[in-house]
Structure 1
Amino acid sequence: MKPLYDLIIVGSGVLGTFHAYHALKKGLRVAIIEKDKMSKGATIQNFGQVVPSGMDSKWQTYGRESLAIYKEIQSQFDISIRQNGSVYLASNEEEIQLIEELSQINQSNNYPSQMLTKQECLDKYPGLRSDYVKAGLFFPEEVTVEPRTMIYRLQEFMIHKMGLKLITNTSIINCETTIKGVCLLSAANEEFLASKVIICNGNEFKNLFPILFRESDLEVSKLQMMQTKPQQNYKLDGSILTGLSIRRYEAFYECPSFKAIKAKENPDASEKKWGVHILFKQAADGSIILGDSHHYADAKNIDDLGFDLDMDIDHFMIQEAKKIIDLPNYEIQNRWYGMYSQCKTKDIFEHTIDENIHIITGIGGKGMTGSAGFSKENITKIFNT
């Protein structure tokens, strides 16, 4: 019996879905198998900011490729992409120095960016507080997506226009190479056969290869986010990243002044304790998504992160956000947390069980920005095409 599929992806998040997308583009027969009714992990529990500007040089390359892929798909089918740019807002001289240095780095990388004066920032972003902002760095090519709908719209496009088979509510509990091909077994005792399998399991470490994950350097980050009620007669374009983001994002690690500036920070500050940096993004309904924080646990101790929201963290984030932008209202209609996996020592977790079974996870906070570009290269590598 020949395998029905050239490739099965286990996991329907953004990383798995884009692996499927690029395999379909190569004419392969592809299925995605998802344990839940729909994707519901980090792919939908995030800001929907596609910001290659925040990544180190390697991942900025993937992120820029992702921008092109998102825009190409959007030109054919509405997956909620809006090209409205990203801005980093500096609140003091140190942060100004860092955005100026990043601007120089991006000039040498031929990635468009524009320094904004204080007044230009105030003119461009309504409600931005004059006592906070000192300057800005704007990236016009960058886009936002609606995370609660983007992945489902993308999968709809792939099903109807590209021939994707999406199998949901199916938990895979075994995956092994046989003489027939790679055999997948579900909890309901269904068998699926493929020539190759890619496992993009996010932070699901208990069903497949649990010992491998338990002994890995993977960790899980829990991030708290909030959504205000819709803002009446108010528009905030693009992704708004602030001074704490400048002090946190990997792109700035490559700035000559970064290490010295980080060394001066107070290690006992609340933003350090809770891993907070303040981001704003307006959703399609006019509400503002606000956050976020970071708590970490090893993959084997994921349950230690708990299932509650820490209101002290939320109150601190609102307090800090109010110092940056005067929104018409800060009434919160939704609060949630997202969880993503990442590696302590590498930028992504890649493990080959054998030549036909590949595990790709631990992309961390780079998923929405980097997955499309990274997956394109990885599919080419796996299929030697």
Structure 2
Amino acid sequence: MCRVSDSSSSSDLIVVGAGIVGLAHAVAAVERGLSVTVVERDERAVGASVRNFGHACITAQTGEALRFAEQARDTWLDLGERAGFDVAECGTVVVARSAEELAALEELARHREVRLLTPGETRSAAPVSADGLHGGALLERDLRVDQRRAAGAIAEWLATRPGVRFHWSTPVLGVADGLVRTGRGELRGDHVVVCTGHDLDRILPDAADEAGMRRCVLQMLQLRAPGLRLDPALLTGTSMLRYPALARTEGARALRDRLREQRPELLAASVNHMLTQLPGGDLVVGDTHTYARTPEPWSSEEFDELLLAETRALLGRDDLAVVRRWQGVYASADGEFLRARLSPGLTAVAVTSGIGMTTAFGLAPAVLDS
């Protein structure tokens, strides 16, 4: 790769980070007729943009996140067609296995586009066990994205657009107003947007400190489930405690009280037990959450076993085999988004609530237009 400090390196916008949030800013810039340079320390995206569920949970967001998610939905569908990766309008099935969970879904259905399901309809929509099943709901607006292909496909498509350049395997050493210093030389542009997620403190530590940013570490599993077919994403009661439109219901508050007494291990691990299916048939299962500025470097086998046991009970199957285990990491701070205008030509942006896939393509246009 050639050095980047030459006269052709000037762009209207320089994006630091080629994950989904960075790529969303590049896409929004191209739509506005701007020239764009994207700088990425790795040779491809390997962080939160590929270590997730591939789930755009639109319906259960609130406020600004809901507006961003609705806008991002249209962009995902368009990009899937243009860049050649799978985006499925298959929705989300939320399973209710208690009276409190069913009450939460019924409350959500009063003010959102949600179709309540009987126990039989729930089992027709998702292969869950009938044991203790009270019903469910279909969140029809939600999407499923091929998360392990999407970022790479979007980058490949962007690279064919006029005025777009990528510098892969290029570490960023520092940023300033309209300037990016890399291990391969300097890049200059009218504006720099830093989209490095939980690693913002590596480049702009003061901005990360001011936001109170920490790293949220997730434990996730890939499970082989012979013969199982799951088109929609699948959420459970613990998901109702994390997605804001559900978490604010009386049913979810009652559920949290009951789990505090009967299943405290789920709350201690901050479990959001949900499933999606990869194109090859394996299930992506997660996830647990721990928070620290500098997390411990090892995983908890207890957390993995908890996820596996919950999945076996949910599906009523004992033949699930672990194929892969991994940790995901995303930025966490007060609020759902960090947008810090540090100088006229320098902005830091991060999704600080684990909903980057859901909202990035709505967030990025708002950042550029501001």
TM norm structure 2: 0.93
Q: 2:46 is paired with a residue of what secondary structure?
A: coil
Q: Could you tell me which residue of structure 1 aligns to residue 221 of structure 2?
A: 226
Deviation string for 1:96-129 (max 9, x for gaps)? Answer: 11001111121xxxxx321111110112223x11
Equivalent residue runs for 1:63-142 within 5 Å? 63-106=69-112, 112-126=113-127, 128-142=128-142
Cα 1:153/1:195, change in 2 over 3 Å: same
Q: Which of 11, 15, 18 is matched with 1:9 structurally?
A: 15
Q: 1:291 is paired with a residue of what secondary structure?
A: strand
Separation (CA, whole Å) in 1 of partners of 2:31 and 2:244: 31
Deviation string for 1:136-165 (max 9, x for gaps)? Answer: 110223211122211001111111245421
Separation (CA, whole Å) in 2 of partners of 1:24 and 1:280: 34
**CA positional deviation for 1:264:** 4.5
Separation (CA, whole Å) in 2 of partners of 1:85 and 1:33: 34
Q: Could you tell me which residue of structure 2 aligns to residue 290 of structure 1?
A: 285
Equivalent position amino acid for 2:182 in 1: S
Separation (CA, whole Å) in 1 of partners of 2:8 and 2:228: 57
Q: Could you tell me which residue of structure 2 aligns to residue 59 of structure 1?
A: 65
Q: 1:105 is paired with a residue of what secondary structure?
A: coil
Identity %: 21
Larger mean Cα displacement after TM superposition, 305-314 or 255-264:
255-264
Say whether 1:374 aligns with 2:369.
no
Equivalent position amino acid for 2:208 in 1: F
**CA positional deviation for 1:50:** 0.8
**CA positional deviation for 1:203:** 1.3
Equivalent position amino acid for 1:331 in 2: A
Say whether 1:146 aligns with 2:152.
no
Q: Contact between 2:122 and 2:137, CA under 8 Å: does it hold in 1?
A: no
Separation (CA, whole Å) in 2 of partners of 1:328 and 1:157: 42
Separation (CA, whole Å) in 1 of partners of 2:255 and 2:140: 27
Deviation string for 1:180-220 (max 9, x for gaps)? Answer: xx1211134x0111000000111114532224324541111
Equivalent position amino acid for 1:117 in 2: T
Separation (CA, whole Å) in 2 of partners of 1:295 and 1:120: 35
**CA positional deviation for 1:38:** 1.3
Larger mean Cα displacement after TM superposition, 73-82 or 97-106:
73-82
Q: 1:53 is paired with a residue of what secondary structure?
A: coil
Separation (CA, whole Å) in 2 of partners of 1:288 and 1:205: 31
Q: Contact between 1:234 and 1:328, CA under 8 Å: does it hold in 2?
A: no
Tell me the matched-pair count. Answer: 363
Unpaired runs of 5+ residues, structure 1, are 107-111
Cα 1:191/1:289, change in 2 over 3 Å: same
Say whether 1:169 aligns with 2:169.
yes
**CA positional deviation for 1:273:** 1.0
Cα 1:171/1:154, change in 2 over 3 Å: same
Equivalent position amino acid for 1:314 in 2: D
Q: Contact between 1:23 and 1:30, CA under 8 Å: does it hold in 2?
A: yes
CA RMSD of aligned residues (A): 1.9
Say whether 1:185 aligns with 2:181.
yes
Cα 1:287/1:358, change in 2 over 3 Å: same
Q: Could you tell me which residue of structure 2 aligns to residue 109 of structure 1?
A: none
Say whether 1:361 aligns with 2:350.
yes
Q: Which of 214, 237, 260 is matched with 1:243 structurally?
A: 237
Equivalent position amino acid for 1:339 in 2: V
Deviation string for 1:333-376 (max 9, x for gaps)? Answer: 10001000021x22211211111100001432110101111112
Deviation string for 1:238-284 (max 9, x for gaps)? Answer: 10001111122211133355445534441671111111121111100
Return structure 1 stretches of 4+ with deviation > 4 angstroms: none
Q: Contact between 1:132 and 1:324, CA under 8 Å: does it hold in 2?
A: no
Say whether 1:280 aligns with 2:280.
no
Separation (CA, whole Å) in 1 of partners of 2:69 and 2:132: 29
Q: Could you tell me which residue of structure 1 aligns to residue 3 of structure 2?
A: none
Q: Contact between 2:100 and 2:254, CA under 8 Å: does it hold in 1?
A: no
Equivalent position amino acid for 1:184 in 2: V
Separation (CA, whole Å) in 2 of partners of 1:125 and 1:176: 50
Q: 1:122 is paired with a residue of what secondary structure?
A: helix
Deviation string for 1:33-59 (max 9, x for gaps)? Answer: 011111111111111111112212321
Q: Which of 207, 215, 221 is matched with 1:212 structurally?
A: 207
Separation (CA, whole Å) in 1 of partners of 2:125 and 2:86: 23
Unpaired runs of 5+ residues, structure 2, are 1-6
Cα 1:228/1:352, change in 2 over 3 Å: same
